[in-house]
Amino acid sequence: MGLTRKFILNNEVKKGFEEAADQVAKYFGWDNDKIILNEKDKENYMENNVLRIVSWNCHYGFDGKKPETIKSFKADILVIPECREIDMEKSGYDKEHRDWYGDHKEAIEKEEINTEKDLGVGIFWKDGITVKQLPEWENSLKDNCNFRYLIPYEVKGNFPPFILITVWTKAKYITGENDHLEYVQKAHSAIDHYNDLGLLKGQVILIGDFNSNIIWNNCYKKEQNHSKLVEKLEKIGIKDCSSPSENKNNTYIYYTKNGEKQVVDDYCFASSKISDSAKFSIPSSDEWTLVNGVKHWHGSDHCPIVVDFTL
């Protein structure tokens, strides 16, 4: 019959019911791959086959009111650059629905890790979705400083699987490790290598804090600037999910001796088949608050980016 059925199970129903549901699906001829079994409320599901991915550089720790603040965006997958490992327990996500990576480099003090300074990238997801770090990252990629904090995951659920690369590009870290690349240069290096490995051949989404914009093009060699990164991704079928008309506001505010600067440096790129359905949005500019002469979005110098995909 090819019918789609959704079963929303309450907390009293045990996991063993899934086996019974399989038998029911076979009996009625339903497409079992499209049956959603879950013990959470209906709000935990993708609605109308829309997958929402939210990325927010939370600025020096995902603590305090930050988890509750970002919860209002109802992300199916949440990517948090500058999250600390100690923030994970209080994130509101259990161990089965979260992952964290950090290399601890900036947090080492007297041969010990200062957990308060141990920033990395957290990723969180709802029931019905599985997110697993690709073995290539653990086996080799994480040890190459040229790919630092461009972490590849495999994502599966009630939709076609895809590769998700969480992004937080960093400046070069001087430790004698041959780390000579700055910010967007690391994104270039990772894209080149991941493409050679075949990681970008299928459906791919990249999202996070790229620390990159055309206004900084002149800070890099022409082949390693932001414009060339966008061009490089387009050549392999990966497009920017935002556009000037959609992204009228800025995602990052910083300050120099010349005063306040506003810029977009958080992005989402996706394979053509996925990006065609993408709807990109960010909070309005009036949601930023001025505290002691400095603008913040709920304690961060970044605001979140929200991308809805119809899968």
- 3-state SS assignment for residue 24: helix
Residue 19 and residue 161 share a domain: no
CA distances from 290 to 18, 63, 264, 302 (A): 51, 20, 19, 13
> What are 281's two structure tokens?
């949005």
- 3-state SS assignment for residue 263: strand
- Cα separation, 77 vs 279, in Å, equals 15
Residue 4 has a pLDDT of: 37
Residue 105 and residue 28 share a domain: no
Residue 172 and residue 33 share a domain: no
> In the Cβ-directed half-sphere of 10, how many Cα atoms lie within 13 Å?
1
- Cα separation, 156 vs 151, in Å, equals 16
Residue 48 has a pLDDT of: 76
Residue 173 has a pLDDT of: 84
Residue 25 and residue 169 share a domain: no
Residue 179 has a pLDDT of: 87
Q: Which H helix or E strand runs over 196?
A: helix 184-197
Asked if 155 and 133 count as a contact pair (C-beta separation under 8 A), the reply is no
Range of the domain at 23: 1-39
Residue 181 and residue 136 share a domain: yes
Residue 223 and residue 129 share a domain: yes
Residue 86 and residue 24 share a domain: no
- Cα separation, 90 vs 123, in Å, equals 14
Residue 147 and residue 31 share a domain: no
Residue 249 has a pLDDT of: 77
Residue 92 and residue 27 share a domain: no
> pLDDT by residue (tens digit) across 241-260?
986 545 457 999 999 999 99
Residue 102 and residue 230 share a domain: yes
Residue 158 and residue 73 share a domain: yes
Q: In this structure, what CATH number is given to the domain that contains residue 178?
A: 3.60.10.10
Stretches in the chain below the pLDDT threshold 50: 1-18, 20-45, 245, 247
Instruction: Using the structure block, give the residue that is written with the tokens 């991941």.
Output: 194
> pLDDT by residue (tens digit) across 213-222?
999 999 999 9
Annotate 61-73 with DSSP letters as a single string: -S-TTHHHHHHTT
Domain count, the chain: 2
CA distances from 298 to 77, 111, 120, 240, 287 (A): 20, 33, 19, 26, 9
**Full-model pTM:** 0.85
Residue 176 has a pLDDT of: 56
* Cα 201 to chain centroid, rounded: 19
Residue 140 and residue 15 share a domain: no
Instruction: Using the structure block, give the residue that is written with the tokens 């709920």.
Output: 298
Residue 175 has a pLDDT of: 66
